[in-house]
Amino acid sequence: MQTHVLEQNAAPTAFATLSTIRTHLTTLTFHSPYLSDAEKLRANHRIHDCEQLAQLALWLLTVPAELAWREATYNDLYEPCSAEGGQGYSLNTPLLHS
């Protein structure tokens, strides 16, 4: 009987997991000074458009590493995005790869 109950709740659990991962990713990207406004917008769109749990989980692992790398190296590699009218830093590599 316990297995039957878990199977019935599989979809809501998956939805809750997707929602939780999306919330974490959005928080990471939205509050990062190392992303331009355009990168934040693209990341937000990709995060909320993706329905694949595996892809979101992969981004949850790679995004913090990318942001840490940007933080460690932004003085040498990044230029302020003030020319774009935004705040933050920009590099010509996408944050979230498909």
Q: How confident is the model at residue 80 (pLDDT cuts 50, 70, 90)?
A: low
Instruction: State the pLDDT confidence band at 77, using cuts at 50, 70 and 90.
Output: low
Residue 49: pLDDT above 90? yes
Which pTM was predicted? 0.62
In sequence order, what are the beta bridge partners of 89?
A: 80
Beta bridge pairs of residue 80? 89
Vertex 23: Cα angle to 17 and 3 (nearest 5): 10
Q: Say how far apart CA 86 and CA 11 lie, in whole Å.
A: 39
Q: Which is more confident, 83 or 79?
A: 79
pLDDT digits (tens, 9 = 90+) for 17-37: 889 999 999 999 998 988 889
Between CA 77 and CA 44 the distance in angstroms is 24
| Predicted local confidence at residue 51, as pLDDT | 92
What value does the mean pLDDT of the chain take?
75
Cα gap 35→33, rounded to integer Å: 6
